[in-house]
Structure 1
Amino acid sequence: MSEQTASNGKVPVSKLDENMRLESVSEDGMRWHSPARPPFRLEGFPWFEYDGVYRRLPKNPRLPIPAAVDALADCTAGGQIRFRTNSKKLALRVRLDGVADMNHMPATGQCSFDCYLEQDGVMRYHSTGRYNHTLSEYETVLISAGDGAMRSVTLYFPLYRGVKEVLVGLEEEAELLPPPPLADDRRILIYGTSITQGGCANRPGMAYPNIMSRRIPLEMVNLGFSGNGKGEPEVAEIISDIPNPAMLVLDYECNCSADKLDETCSGFIRIFRERHPGVPILVVSRIRFAADRFYESSRDLANRRRQILIDNVERCRAAGDDRVYFLDGSTLLGEDHYEECTVDGVHPTDLGFMRMADGLTPVVQRILREAGFPV
């Protein structure tokens, strides 16, 4: 053991492994751009045009919403910056609303950005912003030595922290162009819990709504509110204000008490349907938890809650609304070893999120095709 290692009891990994070192941002020949202005396309913030803040609900909601939901709306889960460039370098300047503070989710998922680049028409993962996670302001390098090819770029916002400001740094002489258009200007709205928000993905691009956004050419709006996706009618009203919905996904069961689930599910569907007749609604029951393997009481409660959702969907369809659907979420992580897809028996790892996206994507695509969308 070296003297340096022995003296403080810690291995200086960043000194031993150059791949663990942070890369500093060079200012030479760089120009900084606000993604709030063209040719950038900003997605995932339906009220940005009016409020000018990276927020998932309006800054001043027209109805009173729970304080926790209001606070969580500042988390930028699902936000995307899309553009095309041939810059060989790409960096970010970021100002957060706080520091990393979660005990079972990496700072890269909570507070950082992911970079995806187009290759042969497919968005592929390139890099994640790495920084000193004790800071609330940082600069990070996402591309340091690109090949100069013109490519589409998608940057995913942090999942569990608010972003006060972000600037995109590109080479001064690089071209900056709008991204390719989406298949339609309508949006998929996904309302749910911490799992929908992205807890506990290692990095932003691995939250299941973000994975699906790379497979379905429509804007995704992540409306997951950690621990607080309870289906309140006021929240349903505000979400129904979002224009141009292509589909609503309700994935909030595990935050709502069984006693309230029937009331909130039927109410949410009714409120949304009054504003958006004919727009598909997909109701999803929760994924399996580790406790389901060990405890009959956990399985019984899950079965009871699942049946409540099924009954709500069947009542809608019996009344003539054939664009309300149900998906059994207990199948999404697989039949065996599903508990190994979680961080804590509940919140998925990246593997769990990939399995969720693999199960949800074809169902969502089928429903959208039935509604006439080219996906």
Structure 2
Amino acid sequence: MKISLTIVFLFFVYYAGSAQDVQYTDAKALTLYGRSAVSGPHFHRVDTARYNDMPKHVKVLATYPAGLAIAFKTDSKEIYGRWRIKHGRSYKNMTMIASRGLDLYIKRDGQWVFAGAGVPGDTVTTHKIVGNMADGKKECLLFLPTYDELLELAVGVEKGSYVRPLTIEWKGKIVIYGSSITQGASASRPGMAYPAQLSRRLGYEIVNLGFSGSGKMEESVGRMVADAGADLFILDCAANPSPQEILDRTENFVKQIRVKHPGVPILMIESVVREGGNFDQKIQKRVWDQNNNFRRMHAKLVQEGMEKLYLINGDDLLGHDHEGTVDGTHPNDLGFDRMLQVIEPKVRAILTGNYPTE
């Protein structure tokens, strides 16, 4: 069955594309950024066969290409996407473009500028992402779905145009481990998730290790995170573990990273204050306890002498007008922008060695 589906897809790509005067290139021939390692299936964030002792749900979510992006250059005036996903699910708190669509940025005057979205259909989609562009070379960055497994992807351009791999000269690499918010819920498009935005703003390749509801700092996951080389590790995972799990697991998780990367800074970010807790006292207390315990563990590690360990308080991450979420938990685009207003300057300061003494 899998073989026949692949054949159908490839036939659909190369023959249907030809009828439209569009030529397609398999995205595997282009440049892929954002993976934690080079092994494993091409569009998976993590090689789950290598880390087969991780929790089952973490391994499933690791197959989703949240934060991954295809880089290419072309002289075409039109760009198409044709892709096949595994599930085709819809989520009540997310757009279909964010969960299973594509998001294209093109460089203009040195900045990555939104160019168009690949709007998904069912499990197989062909969509013109952008058209009627001016002549000349375009440098492109195509963000992949955040909440579905991507099985096949081809980039289409006008016949006679070229499409080639693009090498981006990143300043370095950042690994972000966390929750559904890290993974991208509930941005309107894949490129609006805060790790993707941070990557474009800083010029750093970012590995998104957000695992929806499952960023709970298990030791097996800590080994995987620690194996990823980085110039900065960000732990945005306080939202998922229980308050007691935070007390039980944080120290070991941080030390797993520190042992493998003695001089690399680690930034701990408290959970956003859940807007669902504006009136619900149970939610309010849980988040307060999570953040309080995360803060306590940070203080403990610093007092014990761990250097380059930083903390961002969660109180201001979404602003204070209670308009920053979709569902009381997951940020909308406004919420993600507000998170970046807090996170970005502190990350810049850490990366340049100018983080102020607290």
Which of 186, 206, 215 is residue 220 of structure 1 equivalent to? Answer: 206
Deviations 1:201-226 (A, max 9, x none): 22111111111111011111111111
Matches within 5 A, 1:238-317: 238-242=224-228, 244-317=229-302
8 Å CA contact 1:195–1:224 kept in 2: the answer is yes
2:324 corresponds to 1:337:
no
- Matching residue of 1:70: 59
Q: State TM-score, norm by structure 1.
A: 0.85
Cα distance between partner residues in 1 of 2:62 and 2:51 = 15
2:87 corresponds to 1:98:
yes
Cα distance between partner residues in 2 of 1:166 and 1:371 = 41
- 1:314 aligned partner, one-letter code: A
Structure 2: gaps (5+ residues): 1-15
C-alpha displacement of 1:291: 3.2
Which of 352, 368, 371 is residue 351 of structure 2 equivalent to? Answer: 368
- 1:229 aligned partner, one-letter code: G
Cα distance between partner residues in 1 of 2:59 and 2:41 = 16
- 1:171 aligned partner, one-letter code: E
C-alpha displacement of 1:105: 1.3
8 Å CA contact 1:209–1:357 kept in 2: the answer is no
- Matching residue of 2:112: 123
- 2:321 aligned partner, one-letter code: H
- Matching residue of 2:25: 33
Which of 53, 68, 77 is residue 88 of structure 1 equivalent to? Answer: 77
2:190 corresponds to 1:201:
no
- Matching residue of 1:159: 146
C-alpha displacement of 1:27: 4.1
Aligned length: 340
Cα distance between partner residues in 1 of 2:206 and 2:150 = 18
- 1:161 aligned partner, one-letter code: D
- 1:310 aligned partner, one-letter code: R
Structure 1: gaps (5+ residues): 1-23
Deviations 1:138-196 (A, max 9, x none): 11111222112322211000110010010111223324454353243x42111111111
- 1:217 aligned partner, one-letter code: G
- Matching residue of 1:42: 32
Deviations 1:13-63 (A, max 9, x none): xxxxxxxxxxx97744432112222xx32111233x322421111130345
Cα distance between partner residues in 2 of 1:297 and 1:59 = 36
Cα distance between partner residues in 1 of 2:127 and 2:212 = 27
- Matching residue of 2:137: 150
RMSD of equivalent CA atoms: 2.0
Cα distance between partner residues in 2 of 1:320 and 1:105 = 42
Which of 89, 99, 103 is residue 110 of structure 1 equivalent to? Answer: 99
- Matching residue of 2:6: none
Of 165-174 and 191-200, more deviation after overlay is shown by 165-174
Cα distance between partner residues in 1 of 2:98 and 2:347 = 25
Cα distance between partner residues in 2 of 1:155 and 1:181 = 13
- 1:139 aligned partner, one-letter code: T
> Identity over aligned residues, as a percent?
30
